[in-house]
Amino acid sequence: MRDYTTLQVIWFLLISVLWIGYFVLEGFDFGVGMLMRTVARTQAERRAVLHSIGPVWDGNEVWLIVAGGATFAAFPQWYATLFSGFYLALFLILVALILRNVAFEFWGKGDTERWRTRWEWAIVGGSFVAALLWGVAWANIVHGVPIDAHGEYTGTLFTLLKPYALVGGLATLTLFLAHGAIFLSLRTTGEIEHRSRAVAARVAPIAAVVVIGFLAWTLINQDGIEVFSAICAIVAAVLVVAAAALPGRPARAFAATSGAIVFLFVALFADLFPNAMVSTTNPAYSLTLNEAASSHYTLSVMTVVAVVLVPVVLLYQGWTYWVFRKRVTAREPAGGQPAGT
């Protein structure tokens, strides 16, 4: 007998979509942030790099807020176990996100080289830490962590740093880096575009190797190979290899890295289902969707709200990307806030 209802599955799928959307959109934000001082050599070039994501980076983070809020409302026990057990790891991610977001706003508030250099390194470091730790976190969620009979996490921060999880972190780190480099090659001109293409050509093959290794390890860890999860893993591997093979065609390469991120996380969520958290202490202690879910009435009301509001949010964000679709150039007036124009 299955241990979940239709509404619980719907909300598991919706939360999966929210997380995947966040990683596709914020993934190139992280990549651009990490490349801040690599592809840009002058102040004008760094301003152009910031302008490439300036109109959209804060909108991309809305997906994270909604994903967290939806998890709290639809699966409160999942939220409680996850955020209490991963408290320090998630706190580090939060600090990294706050640091890079403050840096986006403060970069243009001062005119000295020292001032701007300091905030540029904050953007690089914050993007790097977040890109790495998100992979570590989701690898642990899928592989499992020590959870007792009361649904309490019994490990420490170092428990989360097992080899499989670290490879998961390297997978998201390299994939987001390639994703960001390709995005920059689409959104910029001149020397920034050329350097971004060169970085993408070097990083994408590395990302392909790491992602394929991580997905293979994920499939090996399964008790029995799940067909859908295996298919998604294969598609993700093919797409990341395709991205590595298309350095001269940035639009297709960007579509490939976007698809690779989608299928990578679809494979992980498929592996996780029908659990919300997997216990390595005892499989009987794993938290199922049914155990983690809110009441049927709560899920019903949330479904009505989601049907009304989600299309509006998607239309607005799509319109934002359309309005700011043109390439940016380093030939811009000096001064000013990077996200302002």
For 50-74, how does the pLDDT look when each residue is reduced to its tens digit (9 = 90+)?
988 888 888 888 899 989 999 999 9
Q: Alpha carbon of 337 to those of 46, 51, 320: distances in Å?
A: 12, 9, 19
**Residue 147 included in any domain:** yes
Radius of gyration of the chain measured on its C-alpha atoms: 20
- Give residue 225's pLDDT: 60
pLDDT band at 105; cut points 50, 70, 90: confident
The reported pLDDT for the residue numbered 107 is 87
Strand locations in the chain (E): 275-277, 287-288
Number of structural domains (the chain) is: 1
**CATH number of the domain that 292 lies in?**
1.20.1630
- Report pLDDT digits (tens) over 258-316: 999 999 999 999 989 888 999 988 888 888 999 899 999 999 999 998 888 888 888 88
**Tokens representing 271?**
């592996």
In a domain, 258, yes or no: yes
Predicted TM-score of the model (pTM): 0.90
- Residue 338 is assigned to a structural domain of this protein: no
| Residue in 160, 162, 12 with CA at minimum distance from that of residue 87 | 160
Question: 338: pLDDT confidence band, cut at 50, 70 and 90?
Answer: very low
| Residue 335 placed within a domain | no
Residue 332, pLDDT above cutoff 60: no
Residue 188: DSSP 8-state: B
Residue 200: give the domain boundaries.
6-323
**Residue 287 carries which DSSP code?**
E
Q: Tens digit of pLDDT for each residue in 181-226?
A: 999 998 888 889 899 999 998 999 999 999 999 998 988 877 656 7
**Tokens encoding 196:** 């971004």
3 state DSSP class of 224: coil
Instruction: Write down the mean pLDDT value for the chain.
Output: 87
Closest to 219 (Cα-Cα) out of 229, 228, 210: 229
Q: What integer is the mean pLDDT of 318-334? A: 74
CA distance 6 to 9: 5
Please check whether residue 76 lies inside any domain of the structure.
yes
Q: Are 164 and 271 in contact (CB under 8 A)?
A: no
91-107 average pLDDT score? 91
**Percent share of the chain, pLDDT over 90:** 43
Q: Using CB atoms within 10 Å of the CB of residue 229, give its burial: 0 to 12 exposed, 13 to 18 middle, 19+ buried.
A: buried
* pLDDT reported for residue 337: 47
170 in a structural domain: yes
Residue 328 located in a structural domain: no
Q: Please indicate, yes or no, if residue 112 is contained in any of the structural domains.
A: yes
